[in-house]
Every structure is written in C-alpha cells, then in structure tokens.
C-alpha cells in the first residue's frame, strides 16, 4: 500500500511539473531534463509490469528492463547516452526499494 501511495505521489509530481515547465520555475526539471525523468519513469513502469503481469522475480524484471534500456540506447539512438541509461538504472532501483 505504501508503494502504491508513493508511486501516485511521484506520478502526480512529475505530471504537474511537466504541465508547468514553460515558466522555468521548476529548477529540478530544468537541471535534470525531461528526457531523463521519462527514462526513469518508463523503466519503473516496465519493471513493475514485468514483475506483476509477466510473473518475473525482482532480479529478472530488473535485468530485462535494463537490457531493454541498453538495446534502446545502443541500437535505436544514433549515439550512446550514459545519462539516459543511468536514468533507466535509477527507475529500476527506485522500483526495487521496499517501503
């Protein structure tokens, strides 16, 4: 239950900052970048769905999510962006934290 509440709070904060970013008042979003936040959020959701709906354990859900992120960075993008992959790792790590 705590994980669900924390997830909803994070989703709310991220959605509000995305709607109000034009004013330049959100220093965190301006410093980190929307792309990195999106990478972390999508990695969190992929890891969650692999664990809940695909029946994977924590290790395989995290490993598969990071492989998806690495393949996306290596094959789909023109160049490797370590910051994007680090954001993928952060999303997976945030999912693995038990509250």
4-57 confidence digits (pLDDT tens):
677 767 666 666 555 444 444 445 555 667 888 899 999 999 999 999 999 899
Is the pLDDT confidence value at 72 over 50?
yes
- Residues sharing a CB contact under 8 Å with residue 14, sequence separation 6 or more, in sequence order: 37, 41
Overall residue count recorded for the chain in this entry: 99
Among left, alpha and beta (phi > 0; psi -120 to 50; other), residue 26 is beta
């Amino acid at each position: 239950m705590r994980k669900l509440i924390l997830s909803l709070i994070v989703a709310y904060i991220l959605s509000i900052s995305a709607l109000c970013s034009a004013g330049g008042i959100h220093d965190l979003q301006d410093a980190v970048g929307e792309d990195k936040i999106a990478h972390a959020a999508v990695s969190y959701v992929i890891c969650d769905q692999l664990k809940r709906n695909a029946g994977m354990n924590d290790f395989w859900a995290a490993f598969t999510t990071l492989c998806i992120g690495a393949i996306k960075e290596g094959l789909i993008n023109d160049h490797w962006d370590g910051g994007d992959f680090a954001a993928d790792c952060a999303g997976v790590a945030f999912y693995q934290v038990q509250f």
